[in-house]
Structure formats: structure tokens, C-alpha cells
Amino acid sequence: MISIPAIRKHLALPKTSWQICLLAIVGGAASALLVVLFILTIEEIQQLYLVKRDNYNSLDSISRFDLPIIGAIIILTIGWLTGYKYLRTGIAFVLHRLKVAHGVMPFKNTLNQFFGSAIALASGFSVGREGPAVHLGAACSSYLGHLLKLPYNSIRTLCACGIAAGIAATFNTPIAAVIFVMEVIMREYKIHIFIPVMLAAIVGSLITQTIFGTSHHFEYFSTITLGHGQYFFLIILGIFLGILAALFNKSLVTLIKRSATMHIIPRLMLAAFITGSLGYLVPGAMGTGSSAIDFSLEHHWQISLLLSLLIAKLLMTISALGLGIPGGIVGPVIGIGAITGACAGAIVMQIIPGENLASDYILMGMAGFMAATLNAPLAALLAVVELTSQLEIIVPAMIVITVASVISKQVFENRSIFTMQLDVQNLIYHKPPIEEALQKIGVLAIMKDKYKLFENATQRSLAGEIVSTPQDTLIINKVISNKESEADITYYWAEFNAAVPLVNILEHQENPITQPEIPEHYEQAEYQVAEKMQLHQLLPLSSQATLAEAYLALVQQRKGGVYIYQKDHNDFIGIVTFEQIRYYLVEGKLI
């Protein structure tokens, strides 16, 4: 049977293993169940006053105005109970926590994400479910890793697994969930991350299929019929989507920046007033975006109605997310793209009468606007393919996505909305390349655990131990300055750093290190070792830490090492030296 410490040491390596795969399945299942509970909570609340989920047309105009205001008051009450500083949630916050805390989420932020977002989504705010799904999935899986005291690099992988399971449980799109995690969240394709993430996405999709059925959200779309003759219009649509995505992103981050000095109460109430006012006039713009897609399909020939819906949806989404309403952005972005595509389809049908292209152009708009806004072309493509269960969409969607992404990024210098949010909120999401590389390996992976531990030993006695001990065994001195206080304990590593190997100092002996035969030669060796020996004070580091933390602790002095502890600072289990880190950075190998 493999012990828990052995499993932790194995997980500290950036390798695919059955252990991380098993944890991915367990964490993915827990994350998916939490997200399913979140979805059921929203639906139960909406059933109190809506005939159909997300269909706010069934409410009278006064109720549509009042509902977001009531929702904002409840969100503020929850924030007041937990602390307003814990209201920060969503995908951008998850990206930040991945960099500064290896994906471990504060519990109060998670509470606000669950209850605050459920109220926001049930109140008609133009926010999505995927933001809460990402946050809740990341929190659930990272809590599992934190509870088991796993190395931080494996907690980071578990966090990615929870996100994939959460997205798959929300949309029943496991492939798009995997690509979204790799393209947007992790921003790297590593096999040791890809496989557990894929397993977690499968589990998340299976759980949501078991509870909600196997159907996808948009399978009611008719089979796409776009031919080569439509590709010119698709290029024009892609150009417009790229322009609109740049305008949307920059408007959103500008509002975030301008409202940062406002207190949270007037901010959320202003967002509620804007949503209520627009909902009073244009009920189809309320909610995540599914009602906007339904409206676009039903009124695809009425350009004036579609334009009013598009403007209302843009203003609702920008005000809600920009002023701090908890929720995601992908749902509204898909809705905005669908309305834009419907407008384009209505115009094309005026040019080419006799063809009903509304459904096709709605799908193209969804794919292109999502890709340009999130800077995630592959995730957008696969999301639309899975949501509609149509492989025929791939080629035309690729045309729209490519054009929209190039126009948005190159012409308007638009970036992912998540990185733009992080910049304007001054949240860290980048680290130097050295730290990026080192945080993928836990200290347990290279920790030296062959040592002799002495207490308050003299320098001469430490030198004697170096002479009589095999060179692969470390000599550690535990200095206790006050036996009544554990805080006054310091560990030193006695390093023999001579230019001449120790074996040559005792050249007259058959086995000079372990069995000295001539006392005077032994004493002479002790003296020479004591002269050349260096005592390095070791800094404490948790066994969960990565090589990045060890590097930061040693980079100023560029020598010595850190000691690794298990439960508390005096639970000494081994050391990691700066030379080991330097060797890995130079040679790409672990020693």
C-alpha cells in the first residue's frame, strides 16, 4: 500500500499519474454536483414568478422594473453579512487566485459567488452562469487538494479540473470545457494537465446528463445551410463582430475603472436601476441570453426590433458586470452575438430574398462574438458545435471567428476581456517566466531527505560528522537558543564546499570517509573541513510549496537552502538547495 507522503511526493512531479487522475474524478464530481445545486437553486427561485425559465416576458412591466432592484438589495445584504470585500468573484478572480494562491479560493468569496450569483441570475440581470460555474468548480476542487495538503502544483491542476467539470455541468459541453480551461484559464497545453482535466469534464457532463438529460441548449436550431455564396457576407459579419467586441470590451473595462471609487451600495443599485429600466422597455434583453436568442429566432425579419434588443442587451451587460453584479460574461456574450447575427441575417435576406438564413447567422454571430471578446477562438468554435450538435457549422464558423479575432486583436488591439479586467482592477495574473516554470514542480519532488540532525553541535563536531558520513547525507544542526520557546529554534546546513574533494584530504586511508584508520589524518581532515565548511541558515518552507517559493526565498543570496516541514516549523523532513534549483533551470533536469 502506498503511503500518503509517498503519494504527495509523486504528485509534486509534473507527470500524469493514476493518483492525479483519481483526484480529478473525485474533485470533478464534487464540483459538478455543486454547480448542479447552483443551477437548481436558480430554477427554484425563478419558478416562484416565471412561467418559463429566463422568460421575463411573462412578467408585467412594473415587476420587470422592481425585480432587479429587489435582487440587488438581497445581494448587498449577503455581502454585508460576509463582508463587502469578499464580493469579488468570477473568472477574472479565479485567474488571479491561480497566480497568487495556486487556485485556492477564499471561502467567503465562494459563498458570495453561490448565493449572490443565484440571486443575480434569478433577478433578470444580464449575467451568465459560466462565471459562477468556473469559480465554484475551482473552489470545490482546490478545497479538496487543500484538505489533503497536496503540493500546490497538484492543487493548481485540481483547480483546472474543477473548472472543466463546472463548465461541462453547466452547458453539457465537455470538449469545449476542456479547451476553455486550456486556452483561457491555464493558457498552456501540457499532457499532465490535459488528461485529468479531460476526465473531470467527462464526469461533469455525465452528472448533468443524469440529472437534466442528454440534450444541449440549442439543439432546436435548424441544420445549417450556408453555402460558398454566403462566405462573403460571413467575412463582413466577422469584421463587424470584431469591431463590436472591441467596443464592448473597452466600454466594460472603462466602466469598471470609473466606478472603482464608488461604494458598492450605489454601484449595485445603479446597475439594478439600469437593468430594471431597460427591462421595462425591452423584456427580451433580461437574463443570461437564452431569451434574447429565442426572440431573435421569432422576430428575425424585424431589424428595428433586433437593433433595440441589441442596444438594450449591450447596455444591460456592460452596466451589470461593470458595476459589480456577480455573474459570468459568456452567457450574455453569446446572446449579444446571436442578436448581431440575426441582424446580419435579416439584412442578407433583404439582399437575397427567398432564403431563411436567420438560424445560420445567429449561430455565426454567437461563435464570432464569443471568440473576439474572450480571445478564445477554439473554445468558441467547439462550444457552438457542441451546443447545436452540428458539425456542418465548423467551416463557416471558422471563417467568422478568424476574421472577427484578427480585426478585434490586430486592428483595435483588443485582448481577452478577462485580462483587461485584471489589469484595470490591478490584480496579478502574470509572473516572471522563471517562477512560471518553477511553480509546476513541488519541493517534495527534489527534496533531499537523507540527513543527520544534531542539536547545538559545535563546528568542529559537525566537521567530524562530515568526514565520517557518506557525502550524499546532509549534516543539519538544530540550534535551540531558548528551550522553552519553539520560536527560538534555527536550522543550519553544514556544507563542505572545498575545491579539493573530501576523499583527497584523507588520501592515505582505504575508506577515508566512513572508516578513518589513522587518527592524526582524521584530525587533520576535521581541521581542514572545519576551515572550509559553510553553515547556511535554512529558511522554513511548507511541504505543499513549489520550487517557485523556494527560489524566491533563496534568490537574493543565491546559495544555501530551505528546509521543508510537514505539520509545523519543527517537523523537519528534508531540504532543497539553491544548487538543485539552479541545475533545473540550466539543465532542465531534477537532481
Please name the CATH architecture into which domain 446-587 falls. Answer: Roll (3.10)
> Residue 168 is placed in which grid cell?
461541462
pTM of the predicted model as reported, rounded to 2 decimal places: 0.89
- CATH 3.10.580 region(s) of the chain? 446-587
Q: What is the predicted pLDDT for the residue at 525?
A: 56
Report the CATH number of the 4-219 domain: 1.10.3080.10
pLDDT value of residue 166: 95
Q: Could you say which of 3.40.50.2300, 1.10.3080.10, 2.160.20.60, 1.10.8.190 is the CATH number of the domain covering 228-424?
A: 1.10.3080.10
What burial letters (b/e) apply to 36-65, b meaning 16+ CB within 10 Å? bebbebbbebbeeebeeebbbeebeeebbb
Nearest CA-CA partner of 202 in 173, 160, 180: 173
- The pLDDT assigned to 519 comes to 47
Instruction: Tell me 450's DSSP state.
Output: -
- Helix%, strand%, coil% for the chain, nearest 5: 65, 10, 25
Contact residues for 111 (Cβ-Cβ < 8 A; gap 6+): 78, 82, 86
| Residue 585 cell numbers, joined | 533551470
Q: What's residue 4's pLDDT?
A: 52
Give the pLDDT confidence score for residue 508 in this predicted structure. Answer: 43
Nearest C-alpha neighbor of 146 from the set 183, 104, 175, 193 = 104
Instruction: In the chain, list all ranges with CATH 1.10.3080.10.
Output: 4-219, 228-424
Alpha-carbon distances of 2 from 5, 9, 10, 19, 362, rounded to whole Å: 8, 11, 10, 11, 54
Specify the pLDDT at position 503. 47
Q: 288 with 313: CB under 8 angstroms?
A: no
Contact criterion met (CB below 8 Å) for 24 and 161: yes
Residue 75, judged by CB atoms within 10 A of its CB (0-12, 13-18, 19+), counts as buried
Pairing state between β 561-565 and 572-577: antiparallel
pLDDT at 62: 94
The one-digit pLDDT tens for each residue of the chain (591 residues) are 345 567 788 888 888 889 999 999 999 999 999 999 999 999 999 999 988 888 888 899 999 999 999 999 999 999 999 888 888 888 999 999 998 888 889 999 999 999 999 999 999 999 999 999 999 999 999 999 999 999 999 999 999 999 999 999 998 889 999 999 999 998 888 888 999 999 999 999 999 999 988 776 666 666 777 878 788 999 999 999 999 999 999 999 999 999 989 999 999 999 999 999 999 999 888 988 777 777 777 776 788 888 999 999 999 999 999 999 999 999 999 999 999 998 898 888 888 876 667 788 888 999 999 999 999 999 999 988 888 878 888 999 999 999 999 999 999 999 999 999 999 988 877 888 899 889 999 999 999 989 888 888 887 788 778 777 787 888 888 888 776 666 678 899 988 764 444 444 444 444 444 444 444 444 555 556 666 678 889 999 999 999 999 999 999 999 899 999 988 888 899 999 999 999 999 988 887
Instruction: Specify whether the CB–CB gap between 346 and 305 falls below 8 A.
Output: no
Buried b (16+ CB within 10 A) or exposed e, 327-364: bbbbbbbbbbbbbbbbbbbbebbeeeeebebbbbbbbb
